[in-house]
Amino acid sequence: ETGVTQTPRHLVMGMTNKKSLKCEQHLGHNAMYWYKQSAKKPLELMFVYSLEERVENNSVPSRFSPECPNSSHLFLHLHTLQPEDSALYLCASSLRLAPDTQYFGPGTRLTVL
């Protein structure tokens, strides 16, 4: 595997479920990011980790919980989501924080029923 990978690629969950999104980067980067991409809205930065420490949390509801166990892996734990949380969730990584180039994974398409 090369670059940034995300699993699963598609996820359908009910509002009472608990699920997790996984991101793995094979680039030796030190910073990782979660973004939310909704239709007709700008890409929204959710969380930023640098050297496994969270450095940015853009007022994201607590039903989204990130975890960064090491510099190669990033998780987004989901629980009691709402239908408006349905979106494409993108993970990215960069060698250091901006302005270093962010490399994106293909995303997880999440549908909340």
CB of 70 to other proteins, least distance (A): 18
Q: Is residue 75 involved in binding other proteins (CB under 8 A)?
A: no
CA 96/CA 43 separation, integer angstroms:
20
Q: Which is nearer to other proteins, 56 or 111 (CB)?
A: 56
CA 17/CA 39 separation, integer angstroms:
23
Closest by CA position to 23, among listed 105, 112, 111:
105
**Stretch of 13-21, 67-75, 78-86, 99-107 lying at the interface with other proteins (CB under 8 A):** 99-107
How many CB atoms neighbour CB 44 within 10 A? Answer: 15
**Interaction site with other proteins (CB under 8 A):** 4, 31, 33, 40-43, 45, 48, 50, 55-56, 58, 90, 92, 94, 97-99, 101-107
